[in-house]
Structure 1
Amino acid sequence: MHDSARTLNGLGQSLWLDNITRGMLRAGTLEDYRDRCAVTGLTSNPTIFEHAIKGGDDYDAAIRAAASTDPEAVFFDLAIDDLRNAAKVFEPIHQRTSGVDGWVSLEVSPLLADDTAHTIEQAVALHERAGIANLYIKVPGTTAGAGAIEELIYRGVPINVTLLFSPKQYQAVADAYMKGLERRLAEGLSLDVASVASVFISRWDVKVAKAVPEEMHNQLGLAVAGSIYARYREVLASPRMQRLMNEGARPQRLLWASTGTKDPAASDTLYVDSLAAPFTVNTIPEKTLLAVVDHGQPGALMSADDSAARAVQASFAERGLEVDPLAETLQDEGAASFVKSWNDLLDTIRQRMEKAA
């Protein structure tokens, strides 16, 4: 067995699992991943929960016992239960790293992606209800989401910003994060409010695969990631962020998401081997985690100089595939796919509730 998971950890990158099921929690699989594969956190989303609940009967007893008749309320009860148990697994890491690592994540309803006020309301309510110190509330980094992120950071809610695809989208949420902290600073509040910014990688390559020759496959996602990482380093080094850090703020960490390889012709550890960078997180599906542990080969650390990454993006732009408009499309499609999973999830819960009745 390679120990590339520990190697990445030693390079300063956290590996999180992009999955959660009640079966995994009961079987002790998560503890095993923590101890054997250096996994230090976990993310969930509507699609993951939809598969978990639809895929077996692990949740049926809890659905039968539910006090509420509203499928959404029942779902959040189930999800918070699971995440409380996952959070306990990672609590020692959260303590040891003084809150830098050891997080789990719960997404607000994707139906709220364009509704700033209701996103804020639901995120605050979920955070209070869960009562978990190491829980991120996931909010999509849409235009409406950016307004919600600023307000939620100001209110002290830890946020995992999701569905980011481009340097421009990343910069907007980094600004929202700093703005929320600046408002806290102006009122003399503690700046110890954690956040990660989740950038989706593999969807770029799936999107453009049919429009480019084979030798250009699986290049755009990593090139865009290279430019986002360079922008991240600029944010960390900016006087604005450093002033906040001087007052006790912690920087919003960059997280690589959607890092399971979709192309069967490419390496199954491509998006992990190529995205090694200190002070970042990579959240990976189980299949990818096991591949990384078995035969991953992390390459050179990412560079703050993105000139090579920009050259790759330019070769795609020459074919009419420009990053900013494509990023908007990818964000819209990502939000729509979460809405579909959400509706399927609530339908599944509704059916199970009717069956139980």
Structure 2
Amino acid sequence: MRTRIPPPRPPVFRGRLHDARTATAVGRWLGAAFAVCFVTGLISHYLQHPPHWLADTLPARPVWGYRLTQGLHVATGLAAIVLLLVKLWTVYPRLFVWPPARSVRHALERLSVAVLVAAAVFEVFTGLINNVQWYPWPFGFIQAHFAVAWIAFGSVLLHVAVKAPEIRAHWSRRSAGTVALPARDAVDRRSLLLATGGAVGVVTLTTVGQSFTPLGATDLLAPRSPDHGPQGLPVNRSAAAAGITARSVAGWRLEVEGPRPYTLTLDELRALARTSARLPIACVEGWSMDARWEGVRVRDLVERAGGHPGRAAARVVSLEAHGNYRVMHMGAEYLADPLTLLALTLNGEPLSLDHGYPARIIAPNRPGVLQTKWVHRLEVL
């Protein structure tokens, strides 16, 4: 007689914390974190890669604008890792719902959730790895992170639309769909939410000091300490990494191209009227730091070449032979701002080679990757 093997049965989950109320409570926080990440990510992307119609109108003020938005972007992105893991834990039993698709609508709903989860995991973990400048993948981080952000955003909107009745029913303890829990389960839920909030607080406290310098003493887990580096300021790309040596800058000249082109030696550049400004340098990885810069206003160099600040744009070219940002476009708003400098000193000392000696760009409200180092040519457009 042949023994009949019963068909496999999906696991049964009885934990009350894997319920809609807990998922909704965590989802509120996660949704807020994703919203901040999405908006600040768009700001960062379009500051770095503006479309032609936007390039000349990007604002140069407030001077701390990019420092704030990118600091928020990275801080909320790190917090979202904790929230996403907890959210997935609360809903993972639904992965084992049987049958997997009860109808076409149900199949499409589950497919949309799969896309949402995949996009969210991709965004938070590639963002985390980017913070430490490690790129173990063959695709370009910037393009992929930006494209998947739109997929994640659209998936969140679709998910909220589909789940709106359930979310509304479990939004608060007084909501109509919320079932009263036994005292023990209610305590467990509060404990879970408190632990989640505490974990988010710890992650934030130990990383946000890289951009919010008053908390620099607690900056234990961030990949950068904003006051560590040459001349008290970090560098992401050193002179050695860029292939710049003392020999490379020997006999340096600044070439300014425009209606009235000219060339300046370093001594001639130093002899021009100089401006001093305290400006932050803010990196896309989240760290930022104020510093005292002194140099020649870029608008003065442009006027001397026959350009008109407020109407002219510029192309800035570095001595660096290779690199995604060796050529940088500067729009009219930045070019006209009196705080946009071709800097020669940092905190009262000549620039070190790692910080762009003999001259670099420093401008307000601008990503660090666009503060071009080792400048040797300025083209007035």
TM-score by length of structure 2 reads 0.24
- State the structure with more CA Rg: 2
Give the structure, 1 or 2, with the largest relative contact order (CA under 8 Å, sep 6 or more): 1
Structure showing the higher helix proportion among its residues = 1
TM-score by length of structure 1 reads 0.25
